[in-house]
Structure 1
Amino acid sequence: MAGATVSVIIAAYNAMPYITRCITSVAEQSIGRDQLEVLVVNDGSTDGTAAELDRLQGLYPDLLRVFHQENSGGPSAPRNHGLDHATGTFVYFLDADDYLGSEALERMVRMAEENDTDVVLGKMVGVGGRGAPTSMFKRNQPRTDVFSSRVYWTLNPMKLFRRELLERHGLRFPTDLAIGEDQLFVGAAYVHASGISVLADYDCLYWVQREDDGNITLRLKGTQRRLQFLPRMIDLILENVPPGPGRDHLAHRHLTVEVQQLLAGHLVHEPRETQHKTLDRLAEIIEPLWHEGMNERLSAMARLRLHLVRHRMLDEVLELVAFEKQLARTKVATPVLVDGGRALARYPFLRDPERAIPDDCYDVTDQLGVRHHVTRAEMEGGTLRLAGHGYLHRVETRDVGTELVLRERDSGTEYRLPVTHTPTPGLGADQDAGRYAYGLAGFEADVDIATAADGGPLADGLWDISLAIGAQGLRKEVRIGSKRAENVSGAADTRVLATGGGPRAVTLYTTKPYGNFTLDLGENKHKVRSLLRVDNDVRWAAGSTAGLRFGGRVGLAEYPADALVLALEDGTGATVTFPVREVSADGAFEVTVPVDTLPAGVWTGDLRLGTWTVPLPALPDGLAPAKWRRRALPWYARPLPGSPRHFALKVAKTDLVRALARRLK
């Protein structure tokens, strides 16, 4: 075990029957037992945990080390004891209630080693009704930090730490705190880490809700314990992070998560006298972190909550907590007051003259949801036809002024086009208990690419399509297409249009992964040539003595009539074309070239559509020559030897003298 790759440290107190599954999950890790050491500290258990640990130590003598000690009152002392005896390159703290996915440690170690990071967060999954953090596990993050990710929103210690980081900074769990000790340990590790990794594509830790609700954070209620660790967390930030966006990012968690939990989960249950003292102390604690510039990071509810705390408005705090709980039960969004181009949530005390709370505490303009649905999106010739609906959530569709926005992705050039507003009766009836109606949210728009640029044609580029949805003086923009009817295709629709400046490629498509509509003008991403194909199966047409059959496929939705041709050249400047006219619904076509009409020469060729060309394939080996008579003289057409890669057909009059000589031989 000495010099292991990972030291797994488990603090155990009255952990039956969970401890067995916990340790078994470590013993069965895919990284291999030879890479592990497991240090379990029994913190004075009274329920049989000690005996079970001794049994497991006998089962895994080369893996498991068990330490028995008097009860310390919390997980800090046993975790520190385990850390003092750890020898691994990495340390993983595992609670005795929880267990690991079979490949968890192997994957986390690989992530740390490949990216040279000091901390790895493995995805957590709640078990038995326990809620696990999710916001930081949206995707894998091979290397990030505490300031540019959501890792700070999980401060439990069930993570992989490089032990050298912990020893270099002397990091240990404080033993004078009943709760919050993990935040101080993990917060310091985050701040000092040289890189953090997030492993989000594998379920690493199964976070268990004990049937007896014995998880320590669930057992220990009351505000006083929380008011002991919160100021120390704030001191940690103030001492290690300079003022600025980084500090504000970390402060955001404490000013929202901790404050809300303390008020709603603890303060409301305390006696009145204690509530006053708690609120006063909480206001003092958060004061160093809060400043006016924080408001843009906070939700309106958080701004209002902090205003009430900072002004020691206890009755209002209690009423707001009750309001939030009712809001969570009903799941009906709060109405808004639209005034002066702003939307103000009708939370308690809005514009109450006795409280004089600033409107900024209610401003949800930036938080308004924008909802849309596309029911039509198709090209007809050079016109894009769009229809659907779009509205601002909680803002009734009065004084609507929606526009269609075309914005070129690279240059930022944009054009705003009017839409026709259409009725949408009943829209919104199935949401928010039918509280809000959006009866004029519909839109229709026709975009002619020849005139959409202020009367002129749109330039080549990628033109992203958005709606600027306006109602009651409010306006918000949204890309459209991600929400669309089942019959509205998101597949790329490429066509070639005849314009005064020659043929032009236009593609309507949806982006990946978001599925929003974009117009590709000029083949930025969608090449016309890739949609033209000639099959290798070239042969003489059935029932014809000199008809050479070509087959292929055209994947264009539209192109000018008679523009698709098969063209043959003889090398002297002479060109003969054969229009492709019979095309099936799936784009398949056949063209038969009457070679007996071609003048003598060596003919090469390609499939053409304007300036786009696709070479014709080489004629197959062994293709018999075609023979016919022209003006009573024999002619032939045959593949030209020595042209294995490209089409080459020799058409000539038979040399009768040479033919007779060959026959005599």
Structure 2
Amino acid sequence: MSEAQNPDIDVVIAVHTTTRPLSRAIASCLSGSQGPRIRITVVCHNISSKEICSSIDIQYANSVRYLELSDGKNSPAGPKNAGLVSTTAPFVCVLDSDDFLETGALGHWYQLVNEKNADAVIAPVRHESGSIIKTPRVRLGRVENLDPVKDRLAYATAMRGLWRTNLGPLREFRYVEGLRTAEDLAPSLELYFSGGRFLYPAKGPAYVLGNESDDRVTHDLLPLPQEFSAIFRLPEKWLQELSPAARKGIAVKLARTSLISAIKRRGSTSNWGVDDRAAVQQLVEFLTELAPNFRKPLSTAENELIMGSSLAATEPDTFLSAVRAYEDAGLIVRTLCRGALANVDPDSTFRQIIRATLDRRK
């Protein structure tokens, strides 16, 4: 057990193997974050705490406590939720065991969230070996008073950062269990559209995605029924209570980062089985029902791929032709919408490119 009683911040780290760089993750939480009292809760998932403890640098012993969860499942949701349930601090941060925080991140976020009386800080995120990931796609220069639609918070569906634990939508934040991937999709979307007060300190210390692990689930090419499962399990009642603009924003995000991205990763030369094609068609139907106008801000190439995907199960040749056409599409059709006015839509590809060009963060 940790000696850190009454912490200001609880950090939850789930781990299932001794090969993860856990000491690095722990050190990054404590380094340069003078001020808040920080307790690290390491949830040992289907592995003993004794094994995990022996792999951690002894200098962190007084800041770490261990929980064990043996559920036999290959899902990160269970151990993350176990850690969240155990928290007693007013603020919580969830950190993956192969990721880390830039120096002073927790202290910086803690200071900001208290100074601004905010509910949560959405962390800037970057790859360990690369530049900053420019999501969420906030309005240029926007740090506070974020709007879930105008600042496209739906694009940041992994809730990385720091949030209060004593408010309803934050206190009830739980990952969806039984999923191999995207277990954070539903709770993060519900959080962002809860009316909370969010900060996005884009130029401050970042959450860093480690690139050392070769067993990270997000690297797997899962069957599409599994990959899209988190989307199909979004709470229907909650979705219907959202504004049309919110539903459209979520649908556009899912079309680009889930549907089109999944098709691009597989490509026209993949073995597109019946189940995968059925999942593609089902997702197009889901998005159309969610927001009938979601295709409006999509580029011509994206639109044509979506149209072909709507026939993926029933007309496989048409679908594969659409995938090949997307792969061969030129810059103009990948950038511009069919209708000229659609290009001024904040979610249009054209507007996204302009915004990214003006965003000078590295």
Fold-level similarity (TM above 0.5): yes
1:309 and 1:237 mapped to 2: Cα distance? 26
2:161 and 2:237 mapped to 1: Cα distance? 20
Q: Partner of 1:74 in structure 2?
A: 75
AA partner of residue 258 (structure 2)? E
1:234 and 1:183 mapped to 2: Cα distance? 11
1:267 Cα shift? 7.8
Query: Contact conserved, 2:311 with 2:319, CA < 8 A, in 1?
Result: no
Match of 2:207 among 186, 205, 208: 205
Match of 1:11 among 9, 14, 17: 14
1:19 and 1:182 mapped to 2: Cα distance? 21
AA partner of residue 79 (structure 1)? K
1:196 and 1:103 mapped to 2: Cα distance? 20
Match of 1:149 among 148, 151, 163: 151
Query: Contact conserved, 1:101 with 1:206, CA < 8 A, in 2?
Result: yes
Q: For 1:232-631, list aligned pairs within 5 A.
A: 232-233=233-234, 235=236, 238-242=239-243, 244-266=244-266, 269-291=270-292, 293-312=293-312, 313-327=315-329, 333-334=331-332, 345=333, 362-363=338-339, 367=343
2:195 and 2:278 mapped to 1: Cα distance? 37
Q: CA RMSD for the aligned pairs? A: 3.2
1:123 and 1:204 mapped to 2: Cα distance? 5
Deviations 1:270-315 (A, max 9, x none): 4443344233322332231231x44443322232222223344533
1:120 and 1:93 mapped to 2: Cα distance? 12
Higher helix share: 2
Q: Partner of 1:485 in structure 2?
A: none
Q: Partner of 2:197 in structure 1?
A: 195
- Which entry has the higher C-alpha Rg, 1 or 2? 1
Change (3 A) 1:130 1:274: farther
Q: Partner of 2:5 in structure 1?
A: 2
Q: Partner of 1:639 in structure 2?
A: none
Deviations 1:21-48 (A, max 9, x none): 111111224234x6111101111249xx
1:200 Cα shift? 0.5
2:134 and 2:141 mapped to 1: Cα distance? 13
Match of 2:186 among 184, 204, 223: 184
2:178 and 2:236 mapped to 1: Cα distance? 16
Query: Contact conserved, 1:9 with 1:38, CA < 8 A, in 2?
Result: yes
1:80 Cα shift? 0.7
1:252 Cα shift? 1.6
Change (3 A) 1:131 1:219: farther
Query: Contact conserved, 1:7 with 1:92, CA < 8 A, in 2?
Result: yes
- State the SS of the aligned residue for 2:53: helix
Q: Partner of 1:215 in structure 2?
A: 216
Between 318-327 and 219-228, report the one with greater CA deviation. Answer: 318-327
Query: Contact conserved, 1:118 with 1:162, CA < 8 A, in 2?
Result: yes
Q: Partner of 2:115 in structure 1?
A: 114
Change (3 A) 1:67 1:167: farther
Deviations 1:309-364 (A, max 9, x none): 3344533332332333345xxxx524xxxxxxxxxx499xxxxxxxxxxxx97446
Change (3 A) 1:130 1:115: closer
Q: Partner of 1:61 in structure 2?
A: 61
Change (3 A) 1:50 1:317: farther
Match of 1:159 among 153, 161, 186: 161
Query: Contact conserved, 1:124 with 1:132, CA < 8 A, in 2?
Result: yes
1:65 Cα shift? 0.5
1:149 Cα shift? 0.5
1:193 Cα shift? 4.4
AA partner of residue 282 (structure 2)? R
AA partner of residue 264 (structure 2)? A
Query: Contact conserved, 2:103 with 2:205, CA < 8 A, in 1?
Result: no
1:266 and 1:55 mapped to 2: Cα distance? 37
1:234 Cα shift? 6.7
AA partner of residue 12 (structure 1)? V
Q: Partner of 1:28 in structure 2?
A: 31
Q: Partner of 2:40 in structure 1?
A: 38
- State the SS of the aligned residue for 1:74: coil
1:103 Cα shift? 1.5
Q: Partner of 1:351 in structure 2?
A: none
Q: Partner of 2:355 in structure 1?
A: none
2:241 and 2:215 mapped to 1: Cα distance? 35
Change (3 A) 1:144 1:54: same
1:82 Cα shift? 0.7
Query: Contact conserved, 2:124 with 2:203, CA < 8 A, in 1?
Result: yes
1:206 Cα shift? 1.2
2:241 and 2:32 mapped to 1: Cα distance? 36
1:346 and 1:142 mapped to 2: Cα distance? 32
- State the SS of the aligned residue for 1:92: strand
Structure 1: runs of 5+ lacking an equivalent: 335-344, 348-359, 369-512, 514-665
Q: Partner of 2:99 in structure 1?
A: 98
1:278 and 1:6 mapped to 2: Cα distance? 41
- Structure with more contact order per residue of length (Cα contacts < 8 Å, sep ≥ 6): 2
Report the TM-score when normalising by structure 1: 0.46
1:228 and 1:74 mapped to 2: Cα distance? 13
2:237 and 2:182 mapped to 1: Cα distance? 13
- State the SS of the aligned residue for 1:136: coil
Deviations 1:557-588 (A, max 9, x none): xxxxxxxxxxxxxxxxxxxxxxxxxxxxxxxx
Query: Contact conserved, 2:100 with 2:209, CA < 8 A, in 1?
Result: yes
Change (3 A) 1:282 1:104: same
2:179 and 2:215 mapped to 1: Cα distance? 18
1:185 Cα shift? 1.8
1:63 Cα shift? 1.3
AA partner of residue 160 (structure 1)? L
2:337 and 2:149 mapped to 1: Cα distance? 26
AA partner of residue 253 (structure 2)? R
AA partner of residue 23 (structure 1)? I
